[in-house]
A = this chain, B = another copy of it.
Amino acid sequence: MNPTAAIIIIGNEILSGRTEDTNISHIARRLSDVGIALIECRVVRDREDEIVEAVNALRRKYSYVFTTGGIGPTHDDITIPSLAKAFGVAVERNIQVESKLREHYASRTNASNLRMADFPAGASVVWHGEQFAPGCIMENVIVLAGLPRVMHIMLEAALPMLQHGQPTHTRQVDVWAYESQIAEGLETVQNQFPNLDIGSYPYKIDGRVGTALVARGTNAAEVEAAFDAISDMLSHVGAEVRAA
């Protein structure tokens, strides 16, 4: 069994519609690559009690929890104290990180940006390519930045420290067909391959209805066999395959 994971997106800006989240899909793809199964995501506000509740619900349920957002220098950046509260530990200043921050900010150093040297007691600091403000891992909770560019770097630094599983294999075939035309046949294939996720995703191109049929799973041979079964089914129902 692959390790499991959840993501907690922390930020009023997502819930107000100001910012469109792109972190879920990026983390999802990278976890799929390294064989960690993403089971659920939550988006919560910049409120301590709501962050604590989400962290405590999910860290006990999954192998890993990834948080994004709320680790900057402003008053609405409360991920670290909330995480400390969730684990019942104090927030501690990391002297090594503080010294990197002082070096980076030089004359602009102040109490606000030094807050980025604070971590829950017992957390491991995760250094990455932009070393002045590292991320951290607290037990099974991986704390990442909200800014996608910075989050990507932090995630790559954290992934080697986690247990990996079997990566996910995917095969897709696109047809010029309504979903309902292939629904029955697709269900039969799903029942043949209960370990795989067989999905169907409709779309329109220039007014013409197409559907993407996707088989996903950790066993490459099974995914291939399901792909063949889907292809057979499509020719059986006379659905026109769309060239990729």
Contacts and interface: CB of A to CB of B under 8 A. Distances in A.
Interface of A: 12-22, 24-32, 38-46, 50, 72-76, 105, 108, 110-113, 147, 149, 168, 170, 178-184, 186-187, 190, 197-204, 214, 216
How many copies of this chain does one complex carry? 2
A55 to B, nearest CB: 13
Contacts of A76: 190, 197-200
A19 B25 contact: yes
B19 A201 contact: yes
Contacts of A18: 170, 199, 201, 214
Given A18-B199, A21-B21, A42-B43, 4 more contacts: A21-B24, A73-B183, A75-B187, A76-B198
A40 B15 contact: yes
20 contacts: A15-B39, A17-B31, A19-B25, A20-B24, A20-B25, A21-B24, A40-B43, A40-B45, A41-B42, A72-B200, A74-B186, A75-B186, A75-B198, A76-B200, A110-B180, A110-B184, A112-B180, A112-B183, A113-B180, A147-B203
